[in-house]
């Protein structure tokens, strides 16, 4: 088996079961760690004039780490049609998660800020939550492994889940009041935390100006690090300040979405007729989840280029779901009623 095949998502199809192995990258990581640890042991024994027996405790610790990484690569996600249950098994044999099909929403692709995407399994009560990873990371929409995974494995899994769909699963309460928009007749203005943006932006901008004056905290030398810090403080502070006063308005009469900045930068105008879908993008900082962006996509007539506008960022699945319901209510229900 090639290295590429090890890293890619693997799956096994049986008459009443689909088993997915999404963590093949750990095989590569375990091999890299084995080489790295071997080098560390060589240096330790050679330069410390130590024997292998003396270094045995260290050898055992490093060996356990390598074995754990190797074992994690065998972690599986199992969909059992007979029992109607999804099981996640650590290292392929230790059950750590068990969810009935009746509580599962389905598998969807989730993008991140760096352009790659993974497939995740979501619960009905957390449609926009963290989800359970069921694939490796992909960078191309036409990736053959991703296409085969969806056609061969995901399609069958969704057939399993469809049996457990209830009519009430897709019924939501009608939107009568708006939590994230200010209703102004036939227009809906996206709410923003102007106070927070104003204070934070002015603080950063003020620190940047202070650093240009005599007695600056960072000194008066024009080092590269100081220059970049000044650029971030001054321009970043200004950007945050003006972002708080950038209006995003849904016009149900003219069926348009407009973003308007007080200084004219980044102004956009889209027609509802060019709407091409909503996508959520998970953000992370140092591998720690930091929020989910809600993006709207548009393809203007006469062009094949897709443009995205980020409306808002959240850190809870329930807020994302409510926000998307409000956007749908405005763009679909309200605009059709007006028309």
- The string of pLDDT tens digits covering residues 231-268 is 888 888 888 888 888 899 999 999 999 999 888 888 99
Give residue-wise pLDDT tens across range 50-99.
777 777 888 899 999 999 999 999 999 999 999 999 999 999 999 999 99
Confidence at residue 289, expressed as pLDDT on a 0 to 100 scale: 76
For the cut 90, the answer to whether the pLDDT of residue 303 exceeds it is no
Q: How far apart are CA 227 and CA 217, in angstroms?
A: 13
Percent of the chain at pLDDT > 70 equals 95
Confidence at residue 287, expressed as pLDDT on a 0 to 100 scale: 65
What's the sign of the alpha-carbon dihedral 31, 87, 17, 166? negative
For the cut 90, the answer to whether the pLDDT of residue 25 exceeds it is yes
Q: Which residues contact 248 (CB under 8 A, 6 or more apart)?
A: 189, 190, 257, 258, 259, 309, 311
Nearest to 307 by CA among 336, 266, 337, 338: 266
Nearest to 89 by CA among 146, 17, 19, 149: 19
**To 5 degrees, how large is the angle CA 114–CA 90–CA 6?**
55
pLDDT band, residue 19 (cuts 50/70/90): very high
- Record the pTM: 0.76
Q: For the chain, how are helix, strand and coil distributed in percent, rounded to 5?
A: 40, 30, 30
Q: How far apart are CA 160 and CA 163, in angstroms?
A: 6
Confidence at residue 337, expressed as pLDDT on a 0 to 100 scale: 60
For the cut 60, the answer to whether the pLDDT of residue 277 exceeds it is yes
**To 5 degrees, how large is the angle CA 245–CA 334–CA 194?**
15
Q: How far apart are CA 301 and CA 275, in angstroms?
A: 10
Confidence at residue 335, expressed as pLDDT on a 0 to 100 scale: 60
pLDDT band, residue 286 (cuts 50/70/90): low
- Element holding 315 (H helix, E strand): none
Beta-bridge mates of residue 190? 181
Q: How many CB atoms lie within 10 A of CB 322?
A: 18
For the cut 60, the answer to whether the pLDDT of residue 339 exceeds it is no
Confidence at residue 231, expressed as pLDDT on a 0 to 100 scale: 86
Nearest to 42 by CA among 55, 31, 61, 29: 55
Confidence at residue 101, expressed as pLDDT on a 0 to 100 scale: 97
Start-end of H helices in 105-163: 144-148, 155-162
pLDDT band, residue 158 (cuts 50/70/90): very high
Q: How far apart are CA 312 and CA 83, in angstroms?
A: 40
Confidence at residue 133, expressed as pLDDT on a 0 to 100 scale: 95
What's the sign of the alpha-carbon dihedral 148, 153, 154, 155? positive
pLDDT band, residue 338 (cuts 50/70/90): low
Cα end-to-end distance, the chain, whole Å = 59
């Amino acid at each position: 088996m090639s290295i590429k095949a090890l890293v890619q998502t693997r799956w096994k199809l049986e008459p009443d079961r689909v088993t997915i192995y999404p963590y093949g990258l750990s095989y590569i990581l375990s091999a890299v760690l084995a080489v790295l640890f071997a080098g560390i042991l060589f240096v330790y024994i050679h330069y410390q004039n130590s024997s292998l027996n003396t270094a045995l405790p260290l050898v055992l610790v490093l060996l356990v780490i390598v074995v754990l990484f190797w074992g994690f690569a065998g972690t599986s996600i199992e969909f059992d049609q007979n029992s109607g249950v999804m099981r996640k098994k650590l290292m392929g044999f230790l059950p750590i998660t068990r969810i009935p099909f009746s509580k599962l929403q389905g598998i969807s692709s989730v993008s991140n800020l760096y352009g790659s995407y993974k497939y995740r399994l979501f619960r009905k009560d957390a449609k926009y939550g963290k989800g359970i990873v069921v694939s490796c990371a992909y960078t191309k929409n036409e990736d053959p492994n991703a296409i085969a995974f969806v056609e061969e494995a995901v399609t069958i899994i969704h057939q399993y889940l469809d049996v457990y769909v209830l009519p009430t699963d897709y019924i939501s309460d009608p939107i009568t009041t708006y939590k994230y928009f200010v209703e102004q007749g036939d227009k809906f203005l996206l709410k923003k935390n102007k106070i927070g943006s104003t204070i934070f932006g002015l603080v950063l901008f003020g620190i940047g100006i202070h650093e240009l004056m005599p007695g600056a905290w960072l000194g008066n030398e024009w080092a590269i690090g100081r220059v970049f810090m000044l650029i971030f403080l001054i321009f970043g502070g200004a950007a945050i300040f003006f972002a708080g006063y950038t209006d995003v308005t849904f016009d149900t009469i003219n069926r348009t979405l407009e973003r308007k900045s007080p200084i004219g930068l980044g102004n956009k105008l889209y027609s509802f007729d060019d709407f091409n879908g909503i996508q959520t993008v998970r953000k992370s900082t140092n591998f720690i989840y930091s929020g989910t962006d809600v993006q709207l996509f548009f393809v203007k007539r006469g062009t094949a280029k897709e443009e995205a506008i980020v409306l808002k960022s959240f850190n809870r699945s329930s807020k994302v779901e409510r926000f998307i319901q409000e956007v749908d209510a405005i763009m679909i229900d309200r605009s059709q009623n007006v028309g």
